[in-house]
Amino acid sequence: MENFEMILSAAFIYSVIRLTTPIIFATLSAIISSKCGVTNIATEGMMLTTALSSAIISAKTQSVAMALCSAALIGALIGGLFILVTDKLKSNPVITGLSFNTIASGGTVFALWLFTGDKGASTSLNSLKAPQIEIPLLKEIPILGEILSNHNVLTYLAFVCVLLMSILLYKTSLGLRIRAVGENEEAAKSVGIHTTRIKVISLLISGAMSGLGGAFMSMGYLSWFSTNMVAGRGFIGLAAEAMGGGMPGGGLFMSLLFGFADALSNTLQTMVSIPAELIQMIPYLSTIAGLALISWLTRRKIQKRKMSGKYV
Amino acid sequence: MNKDSKFEILRLASAILISIFITFIVIFFVSEEPLRAIEKLMVGPLQSVRTFGNVIELMTPLMFTGTGMLILFSTKAFNLSADGAFHLGGLAAAVVAIKAILPMGIHPLVAILFAGVVGALIALIPLLIKYKTGANEFVVSLMLNYVCVLFASFLVLYFFKDVSQGTFASLPFQKTVSLGTLFPGTRIHAGFLVAILVVILAELILNRTTIGYKIRITGDNGAYAKYAGFNTLKIILISQIIGGFICGIGGGIEVLGMYSRFTWQKSMDFGWDGVIISILAKNRPKYIPIAAFFLAYLRMGAYVMATATDVQNEIIYVAQGIIIILIIGEKFLGKVRENMLYKAAKTKLEEEAV
């Protein structure tokens, strides 16, 4: 009973929102790239790279703004490089993504050692944390204030980005073009859309999203970089994108579910009765279960429609 | 040798040279003694029997996951659970090595077979879920890898932990489970021979048996295979069982051959290396030993470099990534290929004219 109360507490819901932040960014990154028809699994590596870069840059410049901008920029550059390689060299995007991730996981350790002489964590750097923001008025409201106020600036930015992504994809001509390229590249080309340019733009945005997600890892989630700290969150973003039907709103909802799984796993670990290793599996197992369930429901829906004679 | 394979070799060589060149540039930037670092990286593994032995030792698990991954991919299923299969295969063998009381010779055999069965079951999960629900096997397999590593740690810590050890370690294995040593002065064990055998068997299965033929057809053109009346689902599942089994015994053999306790708290990443090996080997099992040797040599060179100089071995992962990106790029050196084809056609025309 006590455990149950712990999960329903305001502090717990606060931590759900906090832990959802990197997953939202990863999901948005996956959404815009898959909307333009590119499978981008380099999210994981992009996040890891910018997690390190923002720790280093915030330590060197002592400026949070600088660190965040550079994270978005570096993420975008990797996104651009990714589309350059897959589009110009015609490389398989999945294997290219895996290679990017390999490079990131080795390269970050290499760079970390160059800057700190340590291969585990960047604690010796005097890096900064992105500020937490108290929202006036809202913070006065008893429970709601505790849950929604005093979050990291990146957390608020993540939610704003969901909104912006919706507007971009469904209310602008660029969004229409992105979706057209993703639906049918040849058809889009035939009506004069410069498909390569659209893909590059999408991947730059996708990279920037991952970049901000990575920045949160070392400037919000923790206040330093540690090796392989992204721990599959980029991949979970892919799952959230698929489960949310590629829509920013659906993706946000699914991200919150994963944030919940993450928070649950963190909270349960403080209780000794269940082995920590089993609890740490929760986010990964719930991804598998959730993805399986949603795919099954979608498939059944399509089958039912076919049975009733309505084709989509 | 025909034009195509000549071109493939040229491509492979260029990809490797470009990435090594980039590595050299990085070394020049970061190192106080770049020439010594490069020397260690390139010829370091040859400096003693022990270091060269290390290359062969490292080659063994790479051959297993390379072959396993090749077969997992052979039906175009994007199942990346090789890493999880390898890890839990290792644990399965360790459990038999700790608990079972069996005679010499039989003991390792049972442990390795059990590892294979566990590996096969793991690799089957993503495809079974895909078949039942339609969920993307790729994401499921990635998540499954994390689950496998955590699950192995859980089992070790709660059932097989050696409390006298300060670090993460299982109880010691029994003496009867040893895989021996093939060459004095190294730790090369009988598992190396098993790896060679597995490569040969994989080549035979894929190219000389009906099921291998069906696997290749399903991989080349799933729609055609279905049309020809193949039970493609069954074929895909069989390929996953074989691939997972190979990764599993790879994990088991690595644990029995190189360790006296189970000490893997993190993934050893051999599954990922398997992806690289299978791509380097151009999806032909017979090239797997060469690819595995190449990667193992590069890794060992990087380790020698890291211990002798101020350049860290992780640089090699960057080189590895670049090699793969270039190799899988269909258009990489596309112009050269066009020129080669053009020249060939021209000489042929001239010959015909004469």
Q: What is the pLDDT of residues A210-259, one digit of tens each?
A: 999 999 999 999 999 999 899 889 999 998 998 888 899 999 999 999 89
> Looking at residue B350, what is its pLDDT?
84
Alpha-carbon gap, residue A94 to A86, rounded angstroms? 10
Nearest CA in chain B to A293: B133
Looking at per-residue pLDDT, the higher value among B2 and A105 belongs to: A105
> Looking at residue B2, what is its pLDDT?
63
Chain A hits for B326, CB-CB cut-off 8 Å, are: 89
CA distances from A225 to A166, A212, B309 (A): 31, 14, 25
Q: Across residues A79-92, what is the average pLDDT?
A: 90
Q: Express each pLDDT in A179-218 by its tens digit.
A: 999 998 889 988 888 999 999 999 999 999 999 999 999 9
∠ CA B315-A71-A14 to the nearest 5 degrees?
115
CA B77: distance to chain centroid? 17
Contact between chains at A236 and B326 (C-beta distance less than 8 A)? no
Q: Is the Cβ–Cβ distance between A47 and A230 less than 8 Å? A: yes
Nearest CA in chain A to B19: A103
Say how many CB pairs under 8 Å bridge A and B: 139
Q: Express each pLDDT in B32-70 by its tens digit.
A: 889 999 999 999 899 888 899 999 999 999 999 999 999
Average pLDDT across chain B, whole number: 89
What pTM did the predictor assign? 0.89
Q: Express each pLDDT in B80-123 by its tens digit.
A: 999 999 999 999 999 999 988 888 888 999 999 999 999 999 99
> Looking at residue A214, what is its pLDDT?
96
Nearest-Cα distance to chain B for A6, in Å, is 25
Contact between chains at B317 and A94 (C-beta distance less than 8 A)? no
Nearest-CA neighbor of A106 among A52, A68, A59? A52
Q: Express each pLDDT in B195-241 by its tens digit.
A: 999 999 999 999 999 898 889 888 888 888 888 888 888 899 999 99
Q: Express each pLDDT in B256-290 by its tens digit.
A: 999 988 999 888 889 888 988 998 888 889 999 99
DSSP class of A132: E
Chain B hits for A286, CB-CB cut-off 8 Å, are: none
pLDDT-wise least confident of A52-66, A245-259, B121-135, B179-193? B179-193
> Looking at residue A80, what is its pLDDT?
95
Query: What number is the ipTM of this complex?
Result: 0.85
For chain A, give the percent of residues with pLDDT over 90: 57
Locate tokens 């993540």: which residue?
A158
Please name the amino acid found at residue A124.
S
